[in-house]
């Protein structure tokens, strides 16, 4: 079982969700985050006080899946999140030790 | 069929009607005017509205989220405190007594201010409450200068003492029969009494308290410019009560005061907006809101004296000059006047006070200079009023602050400042967003 964490541009979220749904991934967790990599921030001005704002709004997506779906999922996310411009984001892949469905107590792949 | 109205009854009714009309006319000439009173009751409510919620929101939106409640709390608390102090001694010290510099206590505790007492053509209760709303907003303006770092207790002490030792005397000097009014200084609605006064006190306070930790290095972004512009809009609308209400009557002068207020404010809003567009490259919401307030401040002393074209000139001057003061001057001199109380209220007030002396001239569309007084002489009188206010409020505010600092301390601790005043001083959070 794998945990895929993707940091993407916020306006790509709907496309990523649709692309994952198409390969059979139905559930995910989404957080609003701030971050930067190579993308430059911008300046904001409040009455003569200029501020360099480096942290840009991003969306962090977390999806737990069967190892079998991993390659397709990575392709789906990359394909739908990409704009070609700096700041598109990154994907990280982790191993999951255990998964439990809280309602029923199912574990392992049955809980995904 | 019975007639309900006999011919004699009809004659009696007509006679009674005529008598009542005559009585009403007599009242309008010598006693209470219903028209004036109705307007002044309304104006009083409008001016209170300027402080809560107008100014409160204008300021609250500009501070960081962790301090949003502290500003609202300060404005509300000052509203309560100033009310009580006004009725106990403030009104009396400001508006009674023959002293050139200091009033008397003959109306302390509102002695003599009864249901029937009149002040001109309006009840004295209305005059007293109207003036109270000015005594409320003036200290409230100052909070912008020391936002995000002042102890709440010290703030209350400062405002209470300041009202008695600074606001009431200056009010007396200009409007209460004191030396500036007698000398012919024109300050219709409080450019000196309210704005220069608060602006200078604010400058002194922000310097005595010192800069916020991390000032110029740490971003200190406005948490809610939506509040700020809504607050500015409330100030704009409420200011009609402030300016047109200062005529204390519902007449042509009040009408002109309202008109010139609108003109100057619009001109200043655009003046700031275009200045910012030119110097920075983009016009901003905070800029246009600030410009409008600068215009309101500048037209305040002038609104009973100048005409529409004078108001236009005053507005443009205020918009441009206050923009430069709040952006360039502040950054050049390095003081942390958090919400530009000096840049907008002191500078706007000074610009307005001096230009009042110019545009009062009949040749420039004003109501006309006083008998035998030239423009330069009037501007000279205005300048004396400005300088006297600056010196007195500057020195007195400094002393009051220093004394309070020695007794209880003015500023919150570094940790409290980092945590945010809302939690540190009030145990509350302004925004509990998220489930």
CA B352 from centroid of its chain's CA atoms: 13
> Across the interface, do A49 and B340 touch by the CB < 8 Å criterion?
no
> Across the interface, do B290 and A47 touch by the CB < 8 Å criterion?
yes
- This prediction has a pTM of 0.89
Give, as one character, the DSSP assignment of residue B63.
S
> Across the interface, do A49 and B280 touch by the CB < 8 Å criterion?
no
Write out the H or E segment, with its range, that includes residue B180: helix B179-183
What is the pLDDT at residue B416? 98
Distance CA B375, CA B355 (A): 10
Identify whether A78 is preceded by a cis peptide bond (ω within 30 of 0).
Answer: no
Min distance B62 CA to chain A CA atoms (Å): 9
CATH, domain range A2-111:
3.30.70.120
Distance CA B146, CA B211 (A): 9
Q: Judging by beta carbons within 10 Å of its beta carbon (0-12, 13-18, 19+), is residue A32 exposed, middle or buried?
A: exposed
Measured CA distances, B227 to B28, B94, B230, B327 (Å): 43, 34, 5, 21
What is the pLDDT at residue A26? 80
What is the pLDDT at residue B23? 46
What is the pLDDT at residue A53? 81
Q: Is the dihedral of CA B219, B225, B231, B234 positive or negative?
A: positive
Give, as one character, the DSSP assignment of residue B150.
B
Q: Which residues in chain B come in under a pLDDT of 70?
A: 1-7, 9-30, 435
Residue the block writes with tokens 């001083």: B425
Cβ contacts from A onto B, under 8 A: 28
| H runs (alpha helix) in B340-374 | 341, 347-359
> Across the interface, do A51 and B327 touch by the CB < 8 Å criterion?
no
Name the residue among A47, A51, A52 with its Cβ closest to that of B326.
A47
Question: What's the mean pLDDT when you consider all of chain A?
Answer: 93
What is the pLDDT at residue A76? 97
Contacts for B344 with CB less than 8 Å, ≥ 6 apart: B199, B290, B293, B294, B297, B322, B325, B326
User: What region, left, alpha or beta, does residue B45 occupy, with left being phi > 0 and alpha being psi -120 to 50 degrees?
Assistant: alpha
Question: How would you list the strands of the sheet with A89-95, edge to edge?
Answer: A29-35, A56-65, A2-8, A89-95
Min distance B45 CA to chain A CA atoms (Å): 31
| pLDDT level of residue A47 (50, 70, 90 thresholds) | confident
> Across the interface, do B280 and A45 touch by the CB < 8 Å criterion?
yes
Measured CA distances, B410 to B66, B311, B400 (Å): 19, 40, 11
What is the pLDDT at residue A50? 80
What domains are there in chain B, each with its CATH number? 34-426 (1.10.3430.10)
Of the residues A46, A55, A56, the best mutation for testing chain B's interface (the one with the most B CB atoms within 10 Å of its CB) is: A46
Residue B259: half-sphere exposure toward Cβ, Cα within 13 Å: 13
CB contacts, 8 Å: B326 with chain A: 47-48
Structure tokens at B335: 């003081």
> Across the interface, do A46 and B222 touch by the CB < 8 Å criterion?
yes
Closest C-alpha to B100, from B176, B20, B30:
B176
What is the pLDDT at residue B60? 98
Q: Judging by beta carbons within 10 Å of its beta carbon (0-12, 13-18, 19+), is residue B65 exposed, middle or buried?
A: middle
ipTM: 0.78
């Amino acid at each position: 079982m794998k945990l895929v964490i993707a940091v993407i541009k916020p306006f790509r979220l709907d496309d990523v969700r649709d692309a994952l749904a198409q390969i059979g991934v139905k559930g995910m967790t989404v957080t609003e985050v701030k971050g930067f990599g190579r993308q430059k921030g911008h300046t904001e001005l409040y009455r003569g006080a200029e501020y360099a704002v480096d942290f840009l709004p991003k969306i962090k997506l977390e999806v737990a899946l069967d190892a079998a779906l991993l390659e397709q999922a990575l392709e789906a996310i990359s394909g739908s999140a990409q704009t070609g411009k700096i700041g598109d984001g990154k994907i990280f892949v982790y191993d999951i030790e255990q998964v439990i469905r809280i309602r029923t107590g199912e574990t392992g792949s049955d809980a995904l | 069929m019975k007639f309900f109205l006999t011919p004699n009854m009809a004659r009696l009714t007509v006679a009674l009607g005529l008598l009542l009309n005559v009585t009403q006319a007599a009242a309008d000439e010598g006693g209470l005017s219903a028209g004036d009173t109705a307007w002044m009751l309304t104006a009083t409510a409008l001016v209170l509205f300027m402080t809560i919620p107008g100014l409160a929101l204008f300021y609250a939106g500009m501070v960081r989220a962790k301090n949003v409640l502290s500003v609202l709390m300060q404005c509300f608390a000052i509203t309560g405190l100033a009310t009580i102090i006004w009725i106990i001694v403030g009104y009396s010290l400001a508006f009674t007594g023959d002293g050139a510099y200091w009033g008397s206590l003959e109306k302390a505790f509102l002695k003599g201010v009864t249901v029937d007492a009149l002040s001109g053509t309006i009840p004295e209760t209305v005059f007293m409450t109207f003036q109270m709303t000015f005594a409320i907003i003036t200290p409230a303006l100052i909070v912008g200068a020391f936002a995000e770092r002042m102890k709440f207790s010290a703030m209350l002490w400062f405002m209470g003492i300041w009202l008695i030792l600074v606001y009431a005397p200056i009010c007396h000097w200009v409007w209460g029969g004191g030396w500036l009014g007698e000398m012919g200084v024109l300050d219709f609605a409080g450019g000196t009494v309210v704005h220069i006064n608060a602006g200078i006190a604010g400058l002194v306070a922000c310097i005595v308290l010192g800069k916020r930790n991390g000032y110029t290095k740490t971003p200190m972004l406005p948490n809610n410019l939506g509040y700020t512009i809504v607050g500015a809009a409330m100030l704009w609308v409420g200011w009609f009560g402030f300016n047109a209400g200062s005529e204390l009557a519902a007449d042509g002068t009040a009408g002109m005061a309202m008109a010139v207020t609108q003109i100057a404010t619009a001109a200043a809003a655009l003046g700031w907006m275009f200045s910012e567009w030119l110097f920075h490259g983009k016009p901003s919401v905070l800029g246009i809101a600030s410009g409008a307030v600068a215009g309101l401040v500048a037209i305040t002393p002038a609104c009973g004296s100048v005409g529409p074209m004078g108001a236009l000139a005053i507005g443009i001057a205020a918009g441009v000059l206050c923009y430069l003061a709040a952006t360039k001057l502040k950054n050049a001199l390095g003081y942390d006047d958090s919400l530009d109380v000096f840049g907008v209220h002191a500078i706007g007030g000074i610009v307005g006070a001096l230009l009042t002396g110019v545009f009062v001239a009949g040749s420039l569309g004003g109501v006309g200079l006083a008998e035998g007084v030239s423009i330069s002489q009037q501007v000279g009188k205005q300048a004396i009023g400005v300088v006297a206010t600056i010196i007195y409020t500057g020195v007195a505010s400094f002393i009051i602050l220093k004394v309070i600092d020695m007794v209880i301390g003015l500023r919150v601790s570094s940790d409290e400042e980092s945590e945010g005043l809302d939690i540190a001083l009030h145990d509350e959070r302004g925004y509990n967003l998220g489930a």
